[in-house]
Structure 1
């Protein structure tokens, strides 16, 4: 019975204060405002450049690590923006908990539809193995 009362008390509390995700959103908002200040923006660009602009000494081009990190950053950032913007829009209309459930359902629905479309309409054509002089990774 005590366990049931704890569960009831947990779900009957009001949604007051900021959650961790809301605090993170506010921090991101403040950071985006700070990015409009030229001195802060220059410092940030130089700091990020330490990871994303490493140059190979032999070739003089950006090395593979920097390219991979840039790719990871873009993919993770775009996923966060895509899901987060939907959540924020729904949060204003239906509340935190229901918005979380709706965004989860919408995201997995979107992934399912894209997966089915890719399976049905996958790229076709001459396979690289059939072309003389190309392996599976090279493109003409």
Structure 2
């Protein structure tokens, strides 16, 4: 059964699951292209943010911004601007004010992002409102 046939009869997630099971049964491995692969640390970065942002409305707003900006990839880089990390800091080195491990530590990036949103907009909810109106924050 070809993957294209599976895609025509099922949703993309279901097709991938079916294709992976078929490939495993046949002794093959499926791999995603690096640019399309979900970052392995996305769920852990979200869990860290959830602990740092206990208020549900504030977390949801922060989550929406980070999902749009970086897909929860702590090493996401905008090749045209140099914006970097979960919150796409520009310049990226600004995050050093939150910790020397800003390039690799999602908690440091989240701390810096929260501080930025609070100082510039008042809160993640207000930053999200601005993002919705402007497509950036």
TM-score normalised to the size of structure 1? 0.26
TM-score normalised to the size of structure 2? 0.27
Which structure is higher in helix share? 1
Higher relative contact order (CA 8 A, sep 6+): 2
